[in-house]
């Protein structure tokens, strides 16, 4: 896997995208035989054996009792189908999360409590967890004649990905010490870069090298991406994070587990399909052959539905749920 300094290999995508975002084709290329929408999982929080107290009861509850309940909460992945069932709504190809969870006007759609007391948290946008991407990739590998040659693009705007000239780093890793004097020094070293606006701008390191950070990007409507050569087969391995050039090594040096942003665009050299995880979408769209889409939608490890070309997936596209 290597960085590609010449982004022209992705220029064909631009030719298939609409300049407006009235349909999904503002980010998903036209011209494929079929399309699948893979729903990102939500999170459901529940209390085993009893419903989660409604907000008014929660507020009246003694603090000690509330603290005990918090310790018993269990978080688990939730499908859109399960969520729709909990809220009495209908899952369909153009469903929008805020409608599925019956969000009132000006309400917070990110966290909603269902009538049965369970708390549902919205799916992540613009990324797939490692296992979900690996499941999708098993089908992608079977749907191309070039499973060992392809391309991946990562949106340049993810925090910490690129280095830049500036006064403050894009992120800071906190370090703690048992020595109060040493801790005071650490606190100063953390705060000073953010507070000293009179410093001369310096290069702030990112996950990727300075050469890549300052290098050319794949420019598509309203989005710029860093482009890499990557075999699609690599993502069928749940440990693909360990292989990609944009693995977050600086975070690992500070004790975090290995992690990497999932590709926002992925396609094989033969262009048989394109996988799009648009940063503002809570679903991933796969464009490809009828056979590929059928296989993805039939996989019970995935929650996916076919989409016709020209589908609209804007926030107000749900014409079924109130």
For residue range 72-84, what is the model confidence (pLDDT) as tens digits? Answer: 788 899 999 999 9
* Cα 255 from Cα 258, distance rounded (Å): 9
Higher-confidence position of 109 and 199: 109
| DSSP three-state, residue 2 | strand
Q: Does the pLDDT at position 127 exceed 70?
A: yes
Which pLDDT belongs to residue 179? 62
Percent of the chain with pLDDT over 90: 66
pLDDT recorded at residue 197: 56
Residue-level pLDDT at 104: 92
Which pLDDT does position 50 carry in this prediction?
A: 72
Supply 255's token pair: 């004790």
Torsion of CA 176, 181, 185, 188, to 10 degrees: 90
Number of Cβ within 10 Å of residue 191's Cβ equals 11
Structure confidence at residue 99 (pLDDT): 96
Q: How confident is the model at residue 121 (pLDDT cuts 50, 70, 90)?
A: very high
| CB neighbour burial string for 175-190, b if at least 16 within 10 angstroms, e if fewer | eeeeeeeeeeeeeeee
**Mean pLDDT, the chain, whole residue set:** 88
What confidence score (pLDDT) does residue 265 get? 98
Q: What is the pLDDT of residue 176?
A: 47
Looking at per-residue pLDDT, the higher value among 207 and 141 belongs to 141
pLDDT score recorded for residue 195:
55
Residue 39 has pLDDT above 80, yes or no: yes
Q: Say which residues have a Cβ less than 8 Å from residue 44's Cβ, sequence separation at least 6.
A: 75, 76, 77, 78, 82, 83, 86, 118, 119, 120, 121
The 10s digit of each residue's pLDDT in 167-203 is: 676 666 555 446 666 555 545 555 555 555 566 888 6
- Grade residue 317 by pLDDT with cuts at 50, 70 and 90: very high
Weakest mean pLDDT among 24-38, 197-211, 298-312: 197-211
pLDDT at 139 over 70: yes
Give me 22's structure tokens. Answer: 């009235």
Reported in sequence order, the residue ranges of 105-207 that DSSP labels E, i.e. its strands, are: 111-113, 119-121, 150-155, 164-166, 202-204
Flag the least confident range among 39-43, 74-78, 304-308. Answer: 74-78
Q: Is 142 helix (H, G, I), strand (E, B) or coil?
A: helix
Over the stretch 227-272, which tens digit does the pLDDT of each residue have?
999 999 999 999 999 999 999 988 888 888 999 999 999 999 999 9
């Amino acid at each position: 896997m290597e960085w590609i300094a010449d982004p022209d290999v992705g220029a064909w995508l631009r030719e298939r995208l609409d300049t407006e975002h009235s349909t999904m084709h503002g980010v998903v290329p036209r011209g494929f035989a079929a399309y699948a929408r893979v729903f990102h999982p939500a999170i459901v929080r529940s209390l085993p054996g009893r419903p989660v107290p409604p907000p008014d009861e929660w507020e009246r509850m003694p603090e000690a009792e509330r603290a005990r309940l918090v310790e018993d909460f269990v978080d688990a992945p939730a499908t859109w189908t399960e969520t729709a069932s909990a809220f009495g709504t209908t899952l369909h190809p153009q469903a929008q999360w805020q409608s599925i969870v019956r969000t009132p006007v000006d309400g917070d759609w990110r966290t909603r409590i269902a009538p049965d007391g369970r708390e549902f948290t919205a799916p992540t946008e613009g990324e797939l967890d490692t296992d979900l991407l690996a499941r999708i990739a098993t089908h992608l590998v079977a749907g191309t004649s070039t499973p060992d040659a392809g391309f991946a693009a990562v949106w340049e705007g993810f925090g910490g990905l690129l280095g830049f000239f500036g006064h403050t780093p894009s992120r800071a890793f906190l370090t703690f010490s048992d020595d109060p004097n040493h801790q005071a020094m650490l606190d100063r070293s953390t705060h000073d870069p953010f507070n000293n606006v009179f410093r001369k701008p310096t290069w702030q390191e990112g996950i990727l090298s300075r050469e890549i950070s300052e290098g050319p990007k794949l420019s598509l409507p309203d989005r710029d991406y860093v482009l890499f050569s990557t075999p699609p087969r690599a993502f069928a391995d749940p440990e693909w994070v360990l292989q990609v050039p944009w693995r977050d090594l600086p975070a690992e040096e500070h004790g975090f587990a290995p992690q990497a942003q999932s590709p926002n665009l992925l396609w094989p050299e033969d262009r048989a399909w394109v996988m799009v995880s648009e940063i503002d979408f809570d679903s991933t769209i796969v464009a490809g052959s009828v056979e590929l889409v059928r296989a993805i939608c039939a996989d019970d490890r995935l929650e996916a539905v076919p989409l016709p070309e020209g589908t609209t997936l804007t926030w107000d596209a749900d014409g079924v749920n109130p």
